[in-house]
Structure 1
Amino acid sequence: MPSRSTQEWMRMSMRTPGILIFGMVLAPCGWVLDLTATVAPNWRTLHGLPNTPPDEFIQQGIWDICRTTTTSTRPLCSLQDTTYFGNQIIDVAQGLMVASLIVTLIGLAVAIPGVRCWRDQPNWLVAGLGGLLIFLSGVMTIIPIAWYTHVLDSVASVSPLTDVRVGYCIVLGYIGGIFEVLGGFVMFIGICRCCGGKNRGERPVEEVTGRQKRPEPRRVDVPRLDRARSGAGGSGRSSVPYSKYSADDGDDVSFPRAKSPAARSVNTSYTSRPYDVDL
């Protein structure tokens, strides 16, 4: 039974958690890079070929071999080299790269129903399984890329190996495989509800609503003012606040009232002798 503090964590509205967004962005990017590395014939380049112009070189991939120059935009491909394609690394790279592309698509198809944002809460189990497949596809990409790089100068070919350089497919394959490994791993750790749900992008109620829990206001008992009410009906006591009655009712209040000014008397009779100004 989870503790109360764990239960207080919740998803922020209906947005997809950040770890799932991270995985769903890196996985397609890695797949595109792996696809380019698979079909492009540039795993390595052979320069300094004898009896050829200095700007001419050969591009060797896992499916095709092309001859081109630094100034040409239309290489001559489909060159035959049974020695090169007879190496074990070529067969392994062909199988693993194609399998990696297929597994990545399967992983995305499994993960999409689990991370869809129109639900109140994602299906972490389904999304985690999709992330696991994406992680495995990245591993299947890195294995042949790393192996080919390790034996780059020792892969046999009918062309002389005078100046062997790494092709751009190796770089793209490394980047794509790392993208898939990172994206799949981040999605897979969403299965584990650790750190109170923080790894799932869940936040406390206080952070979601933007306000903190305030303690309930303490109730203070205010004493009622009981005072005598004088009137024609006798001297009775009432618990009604004195502000309800007018001050002209003759109520006995606890503070002195201001005395009303005395009326000024006007004397209209003159006892003194009138002056000329009065005339």
Structure 2
Amino acid sequence: MRTPGILIFGMVMAPCGWILNLTATVAPSWRTLNSLPNIPIDQFLQQGIWDICLASTIKPGGTCGQSDTTYFNNQIIKVAQGLMVASLCVTILGLCVAIPGVRCWKRTPNWTLAGLGGLLIFISGVLTIIPIAWYTHILSAITTISSRNDVRVGYCIVLGYIGGICEVLGGFVMCIGFCRCCGGRNRGERREKSCELEVGCLMNSVCK
């Protein structure tokens, strides 16, 4: 029996989401601050949940390790650090649980293991979306910012949303295999049975 499509979908989406979430976690670009006082117009700050970098629009690279105690003491930063790391760990755990259930070396998948792995992957996606959405909602209120500052969403927010949605969709689709419905069509069983019936009929006709 071939690996059912819902398991293939989930096992592709989960690693893709994990890579995007890993990038969103470690990269210092959850938001950018432009038009900063006492700083050249071509320079801007990139703020993440672990580091802050001073970059320039006309020069490659940037200077990281910028200090901002007020920013890092915000509640959302502490929450985002914990949930994003937890999400990465839960995704790995979910894949470790799902892989033995999905396996390609046995005739039928272990739907309990595969579904449990999908549930963990779904939860990891939710753990990513919560801090991303919260951070976006209070983007300009995280620290006291002058009205002259130009606050913009960083690319990590976009990557985090995409990664979280990938894991939520992949995990949800894998969880569909928990129950057998539509005559087993959700597990890819209907097609397999029909193929076996056609092969059996063909063999009988040949023997006759």
The TM-score normalised by the length of structure 2 is: 0.92
User: In the alignment, is residue 49 of structure 1 matched against residue 36 of structure 2?
Assistant: yes
> Where do residues 238-257 of structure 1 align in structure 2 (5 Å cutoff)?
none
| Equivalent residue runs for 1:141-156 within 5 Å | 141-156=128-143
Q: How many residue pairs get matched?
A: 202
> RMSD across aligned C-alpha pairs, in angstroms?
1.9
Residue 90 (structure 1) aligned with residue 74 (structure 2): no
One-letter amino acid of the counterpart of residue 85, structure 1: F
Question: If each structure's helix is expressed as a fraction of its own residues, which one has the higher value?
Answer: 2
For residue 39 of structure 1, what is the aligned residue in structure 2?
26
Letter aligned with residue 135 of structure 2: Y
CA displacement 1:86-131 (0-9 Å, x = unmatched):
1100000000000000000000000000001110101000000000
Ranges in structure 1 where 5+ consecutive residues have no aligned partner: 1-13, 217-279
Gaps of 5+ in 2: none
Q: Which amino acid aligns with 1:144?
A: P
1:114 counterpart = 2:101: yes
TM-score relative to the length of structure 1: 0.69
Higher relative contact order (CA 8 A, sep 6+): 2
Q: Please state whether the residue corresponding to 1:57 is helix, strand or coil.
A: strand
Equivalence for 1:125:
112
More displaced 10-residue stretch of structure 1: 105-114 or 204-213: 204-213
Q: Tell me whether 1:63 sits opposite 2:50 in the alignment.
A: yes
C-alpha deviation, 1:213, in angstroms: 6.4
Max Rg structure:
1
Shift of 1:29: 0.1
Instruction: Give the Cα–Cα distance (whole angstroms) in 2 for the partners of residues 208 and 49 of structure 1.
Output: 69
Counterparts of 1:144-183 in structure 2 under 5 Å?
Answer: 144-156=131-143, 160=146, 162-183=149-170
Q: Is the 8 A contact 1:43 1:167 kept in 2?
A: yes
**Is residue 2:174 matched to residue 1:206?**
no
Q: Look up the match of 1:256.
A: none
